[in-house]
Structure 1
Amino acid sequence: MRESLRARLLLWHVATGAAIILAFGASVTFLTWHTRIAAVDEDLRARAALLEAAIRPDDSGRLDFILGPELRQADASGLYHVVWTRDGVLIDRSATDVPAPEPAADGLRFADGHRERHSTAAEGVRVLVGTDLAGVRRDIWSLAIRLLLTGAAILVVSVAGGWWFTGRALAPLDRINRTARLMGEGDLTARIPSEAVDSEVGQLVAALNSAFDQLHGAVERQRRFTADASHELRTPLATMSAEVQWALARERDPADLRASLEVCARAAGRMQSVIERLLFLARGEAVASRPTLVRLDEVARDAVDHVRTLADAAGLHVTVEAMPATIHADPERLLEAVTHVLTNAVRYNVADGSIAIETREIDGHAELRVRDTGIGIGAEDLPHVFEPFFRGDPARSRDTGGAGLGLAVTRSVVEQHGGTIACQSTPDAGTTIVMRWPAVG
């Protein structure tokens, strides 16, 4: 493909160069021919003037035609002349091998390879002055051949330079092709060697490398997502398998069997929760087709009621400062999102800690803020807290009972409703989650 493109570019280069050279050569040849003919015409005019001056009528009406020897012979430039009376009777002619033509109308003309000038002198005498153009034609042909050879040499050099230049100009395409081939073979870390950023090719390479970085990141996230999802499902499956094998190993008391089934039920419930959240994230489940007006302050209070038991069991103090704020949303999805945030605030808090929930309307936006006094999140982990299965700190482990999907689901719900979500945190000081949506009314 590259060779084909290179050949096409070179063909256009050669065709354009040849056309320019031919046009230039033709123009130079034509202008030279025109200049030489103009010089010949001037010589013919000067010779005709001398001949006309040599014609003198006397008192009897006869004509005296007195020519010097230099006018009777064709000179070195090939000039010759013929003179007739008014009636066409030959009066005089040069010593030349050119056949004497018939008188013609005044003016310049080409005749049988000659340039001739016809004019009328005193008493209607007809004067012809001419010259052979063979020398001029030889000079013009010689010039044309020299121009052609010179143009051909220039064209050959131009072709060689064009081949080198197009090869150099298309070299980035080779690098792009090699990089794409490596990525197609599975090496997603391959990148195109950078070019000067101020060139069009450099900007293209930078854009492609940026796209490759995003693709690599997406694939890595997908791999991590798949691995984490497999692990989350493998743990309860292993639990259920172990319990079933234990129950089937020998006869068990009903109480033992019931306890084993309860363990299996909890494992199945965990699996169902993980699968539902995975399906939600995978489908990008849409919000209600007809969102309703929702009071954000009421959603905040309902979410607090959902986690009140967990908070009391952990000895946490929960406060709600809910100012009225209304948005368009699916109330069930919105409640689920806020509940996920509050659940995280409970799980990763400290003993005797606190959680504060605030809602307000500011600058045309409805805002819900959840602030806790928990273990916090490191600065290096903040950009990833809304990614599925992300756990940056060992303390935020599966032992807390979460699968690492809650905040990912929350972000999806918030963004589906046209909102934004942000996280601010300081290790050992606490975390603040801020959600904002366009306010209504």
Structure 2
Amino acid sequence: MPRPRLPLYLKILLWFGVNLLVLALLLVGFLSMQFRMSLDWMLSGEAGERIAAIGDILTDELSRLPEQEWPAALKRYEAQHGVAFALFGSNGAQVMGTEVQVPPGVVPKLIDRRSPGDHPPPRRPPSGTTRKRPTDAPPKPRFLLRAGDPAHYWAGIHLDLTQQSGNRPLTLLMVSNTITGGGLFFDLWPWYGLAAAALLVSALVWMPFVRGITGFIGRLNHAAGRIAQGNFGERVTRSRNDELGELSSSVNAMAAQLGEYVAEQRRITADVAHELCSPIARMQMALGVVEQRSTPEQAGYLQKLDSELQHMARLVEEVLAFSKAETLPDRETAEDIGLHDLIVAVIAREAPDANVQLHVPAELQLHSLHGALDRAIGNVLRNAVRYASEFGPVHIFAEQQDGITRIRIADQGPGVPPDALSRLFEPFYRPESARRRTTGGSGLGLAITKRCIEACRGTVTARLRQPAGLEIEMCIPSV
């Protein structure tokens, strides 16, 4: 099973996410250690303010209610905040509220150790008003700790309830099984917002850097693919002063050297083929003279020699055609072509006696290079008839869609090995089954087809048919 492909941009972002996750885990571990050691540091922040505020509100409300209504008020606050509320006396004994089992470590915190002079004077607020703690008043004693087994979080604040009988010191205890305490002890939402903002800002900071790298690599990959297809004039604009910029320079230098090497090879091939034409022609003329003066015993040898000369002449002709195919756009002008009539003429020339079935609309037209298209279709049809005509009819299909003309030539022969499909259009390549002298050609027919179709600004591909056969598809712009 092939591994899923992940873009480099996504890999960098994932790695960045892992980095943030590790930092978050370290932060959580640090905070967890702090929570286990002591939570008093939280009282100097918003948690302390919230505990003080709930203490002031509850003190004011309970001061206005008769004592028998206090449990209902505590239940209402429990439902509102999602934590247990209980009141303890100054001696550490529970007075009312949800019954809780106080761990030994919490009991000393419940005892109000303030002296009577530390309590405010017994004064009941006027009816209809809310008592507020003066801004210059010292904060009431508070605590927040983690204790018990299983561990719970215990928060408390000493209250001063003013009643008719005087000032009554009590301790409000709030119990939760989580550090958040329903948002009363610790509010996670600001931390979530901070984490999201940090992630967003980090992504925005990283994005230009990552996009610059991945974008440049994408352009480099595109250029390398074009060079691999034989477009040696492709170049990558060097816009970076780092290793990627040096890599682009190396790719450009490689493309230039490959272009020069391939051009030189093509020139040598064309020159050699051209030079071979004259001696082959002279040999054929000399052979004709010898045949006129030969004896019957020599006739068989001369026929074999003539066959070899003809094969050599065809090979040289194919090499010349392959060399000239590269300059087709400079030597031909695009014209309107009736594809049905063109293919009918190709069939009459290349396979007059073969079983070829044509499936091309009579009205199908395109604007392209007539000679190049004629040569390309002829080469493919010749191959199909040579290798597969004995297995059934050869079919030629054509259609137009989205401004593209698709021509498919399909046979029912043995096809080629799957690993040979990608090499069929290479010069001089022939599958093992096509290497026999009696059936195999020069290996240039499909290579010429590829150059002709590319001259028409199109592409050509090969694929195997099921259950048997080979199909060549040529896609050409219609205009």
Task: Flag whether TM exceeds 0.5 (same fold).
Answer: no
TM-score range, shorter chain: 0.3 to 0.5
Question: Greater CA radius of gyration, 1 or 2?
Answer: 1
TM-score by length of 2: 0.40
TM-score by length of 1: 0.43
